Amino acid sequence: MADKNWLNENEKWLKTIVSLVDTELGQSAKTELYDAITKMSGEKPTTVDSTSTHQIVLATTENQNLISHQLFDRLNDEGYIIRTITEHEKPTILLSAKTDKGLLYASFHFLRLIQTKQHLGSLNIVENPKNQLRMINHWDNMDGSIERGYAGKSIFFENNAFTTNLERIKDYARILSSVGINAISINNVNVHTVETKLITDEFLPDVATVANIFRSYGIQTFLSINYASPIQLGQLTTADPLDPTVRNWWKEKAKDVYRFIPDFGGFVVKADSEHRPGPFTYERNHADGSNMLAEALEPFGGIVIWRCFVYNCMQDWRDRKTDRARAAYDHFKPLDGQFYDNVVLQIKNGPMDFQVREANSPLFGAMTKTNQILEFQVTQEYTGQQIDLCYLISQWKEILEFDTFAAGAGTPIKRIVDGSTFENKISGIAAVSNIGNDDNWTGHQLAQANLYGYGRLIWNPDLSTEVITDEWVRATFGHDPEVVEHVTAMLFDSWPIYENYTSPLGVGWMVNPNHHYGPNVDGYEYSVWGTYHFADNEGIGVDRTVSSGTGYTAQYFKENKEIYESLEICPDDLLLFFHHVPYTHKLQSGVTVIQHIYNTHFEGVEQAIGLMERWSLLKDKVDEERYQNVMNRLNQQIENAKQWRDMINTYFFRKSGIKDEKNRTIY
C-alpha cells in the first residue's frame, strides 16, 4: 500500500489505465501496472476510457498523438517517455515508447515513481538504457543444485529435468524485467553430461517453454553449451573448430534450436577454462573456437558470449613467475580483430575471481576491435554467501567509474562496456544471479538489494549508489525515516566491513578451498589455482610490478600502470595485490601493514556487531519474518567475523612475531 498522504494527492491519476498496445509485451505492461496499482491504491483501475477525469495511457509512438513523434528520436528501441500532459482535455500520464518492450520498462518505471512517492502531476521523463545487453547468468545444474548458489535450489531444474513450477519462473521474469534485465542464460557455464543435452530435442521443448515466459517480459533466453557437444551429442570424433564436419554439425544444431525458439539469444561458452573442453585441444585459439559458433548462429541473429576466464588451473605453486592475473589479457589481447562481429567476450570485473577487493581487469579497453561485456557476480561466492551482509553496488559502481585511459583520460570502464568508446556492435554487462527457490529468493533478505541494484546500475551506470539504494530501501521497507536511515547505512557500511575482517589490502584468497566460506589463510597458498599471498616471517604480497615482479602492471594503460607500479602511490587497498612488502611497511594511511591487519580485523568484528545492533533498533518497524531472517544471519555473520579476525590475526602474529600495538587478544 502506498503512503496515505501521497495517495490523497495523487490517486486521481490511478483510476484509469488505457492501453493502446495489444501485443504480448503490451499486455504484460498493462497487467503489471494494473496489478500493482490495485495493490498500492487499494482500488482496481478501469481499463477503458472512462468518465474518470484523469487517465494513464500506454501507447507506442505510432498509436499516440498526444506528443510529437519527433520526441521519439531521442529514444532507442528500449527507451521510453513518461510525461504528464495536463493541457489535454483529460489530464493524461502518457507512457510511450518506440516498442512494446520500451512500454514495459516505462510501466515499471512508473510504478517505481509511485513507490518512491514522486509527484505525478508534472512528469517529464526520457529514458534509454545505457547498456545494450543487460544479462543474468545462471549457474544452475539440472540436478537442481546451483554452483555458488546460496538461496536454495534451482528454480528451473530438479532431478535432471525442468521444473513444472512455471509460476515461479514467471515471477522471476517479472523481477528481472522490472529492473530492465533483457537477457538470461539458464544453465551453468560448467556444462555437465545432462546439461549438454539442453540443445537437443529431448530438452528444447522445455527450453522453449521457459523462453516463452521470459519473452513475455522482454527477456531473451541463452544457453551455456558444452564445447565438446559434437563429440558427446553428435558422435563425431573431434570438436576441432576448423573441421568442416564440426562446423556443419553446429550449423545444423543452430537450426534445431531456432526451430524451437525463433528469438533464441545464443550460446554462453566457458571453454579451455578449469578443465572445460575448448579449441586448445586442437591447437586452435579462442577466435577459431568462438567464430565457428558465431557462424552457425549468425543466420538467426544469435550471438556467442565467450568467457575470458581462462588461466592455468594446474599451476605449480613453486612457480612464482606465472601470474594468473595476467592470463585473460595474455590469452585474448593478441586476438583483437580476429573475432566475428556476433562474438562478444565476457570479462570478469577483476583479473582473479570476484574477490572482495582486487584490481580491475586490464582487458577493459585493451581490445578496440572486439565486442566485450563485463561480468559481475551478484551471488556472494567470496563475499559472505548471503550469510554475511555485503552490498555490492558500491563495489560495482567503483569498478564502472574506474578510468582505464583506454581512449585518453575519461574512459571509465562503464564507457568501454556500454560500447560507446569503440562503437562496438554488441556491448553490455552480465552477472551471475543470486537467487534460488528460497521463499525470499535470495536467502538473506537484504541480498535482494544486490539483484535490484545490479539491474538499475547496468540500466544506467551513471546512477549514484545513493539513488539506487534509496529506491530499493523505500520500495522494500517503506518510508519510515528511521528504517530508511538504518537500512541504508547498513547496506552502505557492509562492503567495507566485510573487507575489514577478511583478506587485507587486496591480496584475496584467504578462504576455505572449494566452498569458499570462512577464513583459511593458507587455503589456496600451496594449490594449483594460481592464488598466492607469499606471506613469510618478514612480509606479504604479490609482486606484480614490471621492475621486479610478474610484469602484470604493464597490461594497464600508462597512467594506471605508473600508479600500480609505484610502491609510494599504489592505493593502500590494492597494495598487496601489486607489491610484496615487509609487515613494517608504512601505508599511506600512516599505519604499518601488520598494524593495519590487526586494526581492521578488530574493527571489522565491532562493525559487524554494529550492524546487528542497528538492525535490532528496527524490531518493531519491520515485520517479524524479515526481521528474524536478517537478525539470524547477522548473528551468524558476527561469528564468522570473529573466526576471520582471530584466524587472520593469529596467523600473522605467529608468522611475524610482531605484537599488536594495542595489546588486544591474539591467539
Which residue ranges make up the site for a second copy (CB under 8 A)? 317-318, 320, 519-522, 526, 535-538, 643, 646-647, 650-651, 653-657, 667
Q: Catalytic: 274?
A: yes
Euclidean distance between CA atoms 422 and 408, whole angstroms: 12
Residue 198 or 648 with smaller CB distance to a second copy: 648
For 206, half-sphere exposure in the C-beta direction (CA atoms, 13 angstrom radius) is 23
Residue 35 or 319 with smaller CB distance to a second copy: 319
Residue 238 or 643 with smaller CB distance to a second copy: 643
Cβ 383 vs Cβ 439: under 8 Å: no
In this structure, what C-alpha cell is assigned to residue 25?
509485451
For residue 84, the SS3 value is strand
In the complex, the smallest distance separating the C-beta of residue 656 from a second copy, rounded to whole angstroms, is 6
Q: Catalytic: 353?
A: yes
In the complex, the smallest distance separating the C-beta of residue 276 from a second copy, rounded to whole angstroms, is 24
In the complex, the smallest distance separating the C-beta of residue 272 from a second copy, rounded to whole angstroms, is 25
Cβ 539 vs Cβ 583: under 8 Å: yes
Residue 4 or 318 with smaller CB distance to a second copy: 318
In the complex, the smallest distance separating the C-beta of residue 525 from a second copy, rounded to whole angstroms, is 9
Q: Residue for cell digits 568484528?
A: 605
Angstrom distances, CA of residue 21 to CA of 75, 97, 125, 531: 18, 11, 20, 54
**What values do phi and psi take at 124, rounded to 5?**
-155, 80
Euclidean distance between CA atoms 667 and 665, whole angstroms: 6
In the complex, the smallest distance separating the C-beta of residue 655 from a second copy, rounded to whole angstroms, is 6
Comparing C-alpha atoms, which of 379, 386, 335, 389 is closest to residue 353? 379
Euclidean distance between CA atoms 315 and 598, whole angstroms: 31
Residue 49 or 526 with smaller CB distance to a second copy: 526
DSSP state of 378: -
Instruction: Supply angle C-alpha 426, 377, 571, rounded to 5.
Output: 95
Residue 119 or 664 with smaller CB distance to a second copy: 664
Residue 455 or 519 with smaller CB distance to a second copy: 519
The whole-angstrom distance between residue 58's C-alpha and the CA centroid of its chain comes to 31
Longest Cα separation, the chain: 82
Q: Catalytic: 381?
A: yes
In the complex, the smallest distance separating the C-beta of residue 317 from a second copy, rounded to whole angstroms, is 8
In the complex, the smallest distance separating the C-beta of residue 512 from a second copy, rounded to whole angstroms, is 9
For residue 428, the SS3 value is strand
Residue tagged active-site, from 256, 263, 274, 482: 274
Residue 259 or 654 with smaller CB distance to a second copy: 654
The whole-angstrom distance between residue 534's C-alpha and the CA centroid of its chain comes to 31
Residue 397 or 645 with smaller CB distance to a second copy: 645
In this structure, what C-alpha cell is assigned to residue 518?
570462512
Euclidean distance between CA atoms 105 and 650, whole angstroms: 52
For residue 273, the SS3 value is coil
In the complex, the smallest distance separating the C-beta of residue 537 from a second copy, rounded to whole angstroms, is 4
In the complex, the smallest distance separating the C-beta of residue 391 from a second copy, rounded to whole angstroms, is 28
In this structure, what C-alpha cell is assigned to residue 130?
545505457
Instruction: Supply angle C-alpha 164, 167, 170, rounded to 5.
Output: 115
Euclidean distance between CA atoms 60 and 66, whole angstroms: 11
In this structure, what C-alpha cell is assigned to residue 180?
530492465
Residue 400 or 511 with smaller CB distance to a second copy: 511
Euclidean distance between CA atoms 545 and 42, whole angstroms: 63
Euclidean distance between CA atoms 465 and 494, whole angstroms: 13
- Which stretches of 216-347 are DSSP H helices? 229-232, 244-260, 286-297, 327-332
Residue 135 β-bridge partners: 183, 430
**What values do phi and psi take at 193, rounded to 5?**
-55, -55
In this structure, what C-alpha cell is assigned to residue 564?
600500480
Residue tagged active-site, from 295, 381, 418, 499: 381
Residue tagged active-site, from 127, 323, 353, 565: 353
In the complex, the smallest distance separating the C-beta of residue 644 from a second copy, rounded to whole angstroms, is 11
Query: How many residues are there in the chain?
Result: 667
> Would you name the residues annotated as active-site residues?
274, 353, 381
